[in-house]
Amino acid sequence: MTGMEGAPGFDFVLAPRQGRRPLGFQGRLLARVEAAPPDLPLRSTVTLHEAAPGGFVCAIRHRLPDLPGAEERCYALAAADAATLLHFLHTHDPLRDLPASALLPPAPLPPALLPAALAEAAMLGARLRAVWRALLATSFGPWPAPSGRAANDPAGRAPRHPGPPEESEHERDQRV
Amino acid sequence: MNVINVYEPIGAYEPYGVYEPMSAREPGPAAPRGPRAGGATAFTLRRSGARPLSFTGRRLAHHSGERSGAAQWHELSLYATDEGGYVAEIRVQGATQGEAGQFHVAAFEEMEAALRFFETHDARHDVASDIPIDDAALSPAELMVHAATLKVRVAEAVSGYRAVLSAFLTAMHRP
């Protein structure tokens, strides 16, 4: 994120987004939390900004420090209410855009070591999701998943593609 | 230094949804147009399946997703021509591309159109299949493994391109 001159108390912030233009706004940092377990190949940071025009911007940044170039996967969302931001955070899957090389040892692997490497990668993936959920729960409190979601997600895994905020009954009526 | 604002402002379009298509946005402010004095360079860009594109101008932005050991990566460049237009270039490089590579190049009158060229690029098409489909000795199990590997490569090409594009667009912002 980059700062530049702006409204008093607010700095210009650029929040990169995977595959899209960054969000640019005058913002004030409210919170920044990070999870960087030394035994995991991913460092995750969540920032929450208050936007000068009103509302909030939540940004997620996953860094892959073990890969050359320190690759990143970044996501951001602007919303007027906390519920939308919590939905954005809790439905985010940190593994969604990770390259397989983030979890696997450098190729080529001897065939004899492949099963163990794949098993280790599977464990890393599960650990990454668990750390992500713990980070959110510790920082933002428990999230009451919308009814029906738990039944479809018994393992507690985040969905691969977080959807837009759910419609309220009023919005559904308007659309119909 | 020209002003280049390629970010999306918040407020005017609130609330932003993560899946709101770019086409729903109004074009943002663009860099100043028109002939530029000094710093011009002659470029000839290779194009896959077409003649090279030659122009005089300067490179506004560049970002490469190259990393050691990667089978494939993308390199993005944006140029401003002396005629006031823009040229967008997407290079697909990597071990699997050999000497050939892929070179997606297009010229535009407006920067907004050039940015959308990058944003709408489908990186799935940049992955070449290496399944030895003509190999009669290939067993169904091997074919399944090859197919699964190709699926992973396609997914990683898309994810990698989106990460490169994110860094490219973020670095392009120059207040």
Distance CA(A106)–CA(B70), nearest Å, equals: 10
Give which of B1, B10, B145 to mutate to test A binding, by max A Cβ within 10 Å: B10
> Do the chains contact at B170 and A18, CB–CB below 8 Å?
no
Q: Which amino acid, one-letter code, is at A91?
A: T
Nearest to B63 by CA among B74, B71, B79: B74
Confidence band (pLDDT; 50, 70, 90) for B97? low
For A84, the 3-state DSSP assignment is: helix
Any domain includes A79: yes
Q: What length does chain A have?
A: 176
CB atoms A164 and B17 under 8 Å: yes
For residue B81, pLDDT over 80 is answered with yes
B160 Cβ under 8 Å from any chain A Cβ: yes
Give the minimum alpha-carbon distance from B35 to chain A in angstroms, rounded to a whole number.
27
For range B120-130, the mean pLDDT? 91
Per the structure, how many domains does chain A have?
Answer: 1
pLDDT at B166: 93
For the four alpha carbons of B32, A78, A155 and A106, in that order, the dihedral sign comes to positive
Mean of pLDDT over chain B: 80
Q: Is residue A168 part of a domain?
A: no
The answer to whether B21 faces chain A, any CB pair under 8 Å, is no
pLDDT by residue for chain A (176 residues), tens only, comes to 444 456 678 999 999 999 999 999 999 999 999 999 998 989 999 999 999 989 999 999 999 876 655 589 999 999 999 999 999 999 999 999 988 888 888 777 777 887 888 888 889 999 999 999 999 999 988 777 665 444 434 454 544 344 444 444 444 444 43
pLDDT for B75 equals 94
Q: Decide: helix, strand or coil at residue A14.
A: strand
> Could you tell me the CA-to-CA distances from B107 to B43, B52, B55, B122, B151 in Å, in that order?
13, 12, 10, 18, 32
Cα–Cα distances in angstroms (integers) from residue B127 to residues A73, A107, A154, B123, B148, in the given order: 21, 19, 35, 7, 14
Q: In whole angstroms, what is the distance from residue A171 CA to residue A153 CA?
A: 26
CB contact under 8 A, A22 and B119: no
Q: What is the mean pLDDT of residues B66-80?
A: 85
Structure tokens at B40: 């011009």
- Is the CB of residue B118 less than 8 Å from the CB of residue B90? yes
- State the nearest Cα–Cα gap between B61 and chain A, in angstroms: 14
Q: Which residues of A touch B67 (CB under 8 A)?
A: 67-69, 71
Using CB atoms, which residue from B5, B6, B156 is nearest to A99? B156
Q: In chain B, whose CA is at the least distance from the CA of A69?
A: B67
Q: Does B116 contact chain A (CB < 8 Å)?
A: no
Most B-contacting residue of A20, A84, A88 (CB-CB within 10 A), to test interface? A20
Please state, in angstroms and rounded to a whole number, the distance separating the CA atoms of residues B18 and A160.
Answer: 13
Residue A151 confidence (pLDDT): 40
Residue B76: band (very low, low, confident or very high) from pLDDT cuts 50, 70, 90? very high
The partner residue sitting opposite B170, judged by closest CB among A4, A14, A99, is A14
- Whether the pLDDT of residue B147 is over 70: the answer is yes
**In this complex, which of A16, A53, A165 lies closest to B17 when CB atoms are compared?**
A165
List CB contacts (< 8 A) between B159 and chain A. 18, 73, 96-99
- Rounded to an integer, what distance in angstroms lies between the CA atom of residue B138 and that of residue B133? 8
Question: 3-class secondary structure for chain B?
Answer: CCCECCCEECCCCCCCCCCCCHHHCCCCCCCCCCCCCCCCEEEEEEECCEEEEEEEEEEEEEEECCCCCCCCEEEEEEEEECCCCEEEEEEEECHHHCCCCEEEEEEECCHHHHHHHHHCCCHHHHCCCCCCCCCCCCCHHHHHHHHHHHHHHHHHHHHHHHHHHHHHHHHHCEC
Helix H or strand E encompassing A61: strand A56-64
Q: Is ipTM over 0.85?
A: no
- How far apart (Å, rounded) are the C-alpha atoms in residues B66 and B64? 5
Domain membership of residue A167 (yes or no) is: no
Per-residue confidence (pLDDT) for residue A145, from 0 to 100: 66
- Three-state DSSP class for A68? coil
Q: Is residue A174 a part of any domain in this protein? A: no
Residue of A nearest to B154 (CA): A99
Q: List, for residues B48-59, the tens digit of each pLDDT value.
A: 999 999 999 999
Among A11, A14, A21, A167, the strongest candidate for a mutation testing the B interface, having the largest count of B CBs within 10 A, is: A21
> What's the rounded Cα separation, in Å, for the pair B34 and A32?
43
In the Cβ-directed half-sphere of B75, how many Cα atoms lie within 13 Å?
11
CB contact (8 A) between residue B6 and residue A17: no
Tell me, what's the pLDDT at A112?
Answer: 80
Q: Look at residue B169 in the predicted model and tell me its pLDDT.
A: 93
What's the gap in Å between the CA of A61 and the closest CA on chain B? Answer: 11
Interchain proximity A51–B11, CB inside 8 Å: yes
Using an 8 Å Cβ cutoff, are B67 and A71 in contact?
yes
The predicted model gives B112-119 an average pLDDT of: 95
pLDDT at res. A146: 61
**Domain enclosing residue A88, as ranges:** 11-158
